[in-house]
């Protein structure tokens, strides 16, 4: 049976007609209200902690209905499943987690997740520290303009590096020219002798019919 619009299924919700035109923040609020149980309360609490830790964070709604908090890049997503509320930090593998809040997706090279089950309460201070660190990591990366400038500089450096190699190659060819000329000299010297032998052979060929007639 196909899911009905507006009903929550395993971390995803189909948009109903009433959801169309809503902002990301409104859609997240609607998601929390539609859950209506411990999952909604947990997601609401974690949303509040994210806003406290990163007041400038932007709320987004992507990937067929996933709440996302971003600031110069994704901080974390917030999904609710039947048995767990999951907050996945996009670059969690690079974050310092002394209290070991991360308890899921630990084998990856990039993401880390916090799975919250019914009755569990995540330490607020430790969670907010993770959020702040995630923001700092996002902001530490160079901007697109800086990346483009670095790429142009690298390309220019590559051209300048190639130029001396080309000049060196030309010098090597010029240096070897006398040796090539010297090796070609015996061939040039023997050319007249070769021509003389060819002329003698030609005369001998012309004389051979007369010898046969005798």
Q: Is residue 214 part of a domain?
A: no
Last residue of a domain, one of 100, 120, 141: 141
79 and 152 together in one domain = no
CATH assignment of the domain containing 126 = 3.90.1150.200
Q: Is residue 96 part of a domain?
A: yes
Q: Is residue 2 part of a domain?
A: no
* C-alpha pair distances (Å), 200 with each of 193, 205, 208, 212: 11, 9, 13, 19
18 and 96 together in one domain = yes
Answer whether residue 54 shows pLDDT above 50: yes
For residue 178, the model assigns a pLDDT of 63
- Region 68-76: mean pLDDT is 96
Q: Specify the range with the lowest mean pLDDT, choosing from 29-38, 47-56, 125-134, 162-171.
A: 162-171
Q: Is residue 3 part of a domain?
A: no
13 and 91 together in one domain = yes
Return d(Cα 41, Cα 129) in angstroms, integer. 21
Domain that holds residue 197: 142-205
107 and 169 together in one domain = no
- Number of independent structural domains in the chain: 2
150 and 127 together in one domain = no
99 and 121 together in one domain = yes
Over the Cα atoms of the chain, what is R_g?
39
Q: Is residue 40 part of a domain?
A: yes
Closest CA to 50 of 134, 139, 128: 128
29 and 85 together in one domain = yes
155 and 129 together in one domain = no
133 and 146 together in one domain = no
Assign 11 a pLDDT band (cuts: 50, 70, 90). very low
Assign 183 a pLDDT band (cuts: 50, 70, 90). low
155 and 66 together in one domain = no
What percentage of the chain reaches a pLDDT higher than 90?
51
Q: Is residue 102 part of a domain?
A: yes
31 and 123 together in one domain = yes
Instruction: Please check whether residue 104 is in contact with residue 116, taking contact to mean a CB–CB distance below 8 angstroms.
Output: no
125 and 88 together in one domain = yes
Return d(Cα 117, Cα 84) in angstroms, integer. 5
């Amino acid at each position: 049976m196909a899911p009905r619009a507006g009903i929550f299924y395993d971390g995803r919700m189909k948009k109903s007609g009433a959801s169309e035109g809503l902002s990301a923040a409104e859609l997240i609020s609607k998601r929390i209200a539609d859950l209506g149980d411990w999952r909604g309360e947990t997601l609401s609490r974690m949303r509040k902690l994210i806003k406290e830790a990163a007041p400038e964070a932007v709320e987004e709604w992507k990937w067929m209905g996933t709440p996302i908090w971003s600031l110069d890049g994704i901080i974390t997503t917030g999904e609710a499943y039947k048995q767990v509320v999951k907050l996945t930090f996009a670059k969690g593998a690079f974050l310092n987690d002394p209290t070991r809040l991360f308890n899921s997706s630990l084998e990856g090279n990039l993401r880390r997740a916090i799975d919250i089950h019914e009755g569990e309460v995540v330490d607020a201070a430790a969670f907010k520290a993770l959020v702040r660190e995630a923001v700092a990591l996002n902001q530490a990366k160079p901007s697109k303009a800086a990346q483009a400038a670095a790429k142009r500089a690298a390309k220019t450096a590559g051209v300048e590096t190639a130029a001396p190699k080309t000049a060196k190659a030309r010098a090597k060819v010029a240096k070897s020219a006398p040796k090539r000329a010297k090796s070609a000299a015996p061939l040039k010297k023997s050319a007249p002798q070769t021509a003389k032998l060819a002329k003698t052979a030609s005369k001998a060929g012309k004389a051979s019919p007369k010898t046969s007639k005798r």
